[in-house]
Amino acid sequence: MLNRDMKNIKLINGLLLALALFVASCSSDGDGNLPDLSRVPVPLITQAENSDVLIQEPADFKGKFIVDLYFKDDIKPKSIDVVIAKNGAYDKVKVLQANVTAYPTTVDIDAAKIATAFGINVSDIIPGDYFEIGANITTQDGKLSQAFPLVGNQFAADIANFPGSNLNIKYPVVCPLDMDAFVGEFTIDDPLFWEASYPVTVTREGENDLIITGFVEDPAAKIKITVNPQTTKISVPKQIFAPAFVGYTNGSAAGSGEINACANTITLNLTYTVDQGSFGTYGLTIRK
């Protein structure tokens, strides 16, 4: 049986062939006015391992990404210009690295390069900003496919849903993460599962773990969350927070979330289970 990738490739090629035949037919009749088809390679832009994915301290930001082609054996572009957009202003897209012709190519990025591209100072890069990286593609016949066109999209929406596809990447600017700022007395807002707001105490364990005591308004109930300082994402491995819980046994929670250093908040999506079954997944916010 053909795998999904092969099916997609055959479907695309089949559609291209059908459209090409239709164009040829129109041209032979003398009444057709459709433009000639041009094959546009699909770019693949991915974060390099062990590189910054957020801009926390602009002066310390060290990003790295890889420019490649999704279909390795398809027709190659004449060239790719790596471009960058700030805060969704696609009428002011700048070239970050021009004339890329080898694939894959690794590109380094830091705040100085970003500032130079936009004619600003590094100090002008502030929390709330975001920068998008894309590929302006020049095809073998000289046509330009823009990463961030003012009208429409570079590719059909289905291409973005191909397995492993990544047409662009985004670097948000966030406040620097200080784990100690999340230690102390906080409030949990839990409107859906526990249907209440209540106080908790947060302590730090090691470099990246936080312990939340007083969970579900039980002074003895605790959950541990682990923060990835590079991405500010949170993981919550499955753990028992209360051996006896609302008439059931072994109340447990597991899930994920994110820490917001600007707002001093933590958001979590937790799945609650007991030995007897599951309550489902619900969101909560921990705030100062």
pLDDT of residue 84: 98
- Model confidence at 157, pLDDT cuts 50, 70, 90, reads confident
Q: What is d(CA 136, CA 216) in angstroms, rounded to the nearest whole number?
A: 51
In the predicted structure, residue 22 carries a pLDDT above the cut 90: no
Find out whether 283 and 187 touch, Cβ atoms under 8 Å: no
Find out whether 182 and 196 touch, Cβ atoms under 8 Å: no
In the predicted structure, residue 32 carries a pLDDT above the cut 60: no
Is the pLDDT higher at 39 or at 283? 283
pTM over 0.75: yes
pLDDT tens digits for range 218-275: 999 999 999 999 999 999 999 999 999 999 999 999 999 999 999 999 999 999 999 9
Comparing CA positions, the residue from 9, 71, 42, 64 lying closest to residue 147 is 42
- Model confidence at 156, pLDDT cuts 50, 70, 90, reads confident
Find out whether 200 and 187 touch, Cβ atoms under 8 Å: yes
Q: Please enumerate in sequence order all residues whose Cβ is within 8 A of that of 98, keeping only pairs 6 or more positions apart, or say none.
A: 81, 82
pLDDT of residue 35: 57
pLDDT of residue 38: 67
In the predicted structure, residue 20 carries a pLDDT above the cut 60: no
Q: What is d(CA 9, CA 200) in angstroms, rounded to the nearest whole number?
A: 54
Could you give the C-alpha distances from 147 to 91, 110, 134, 230, in angstroms and in order? Answer: 12, 21, 5, 27
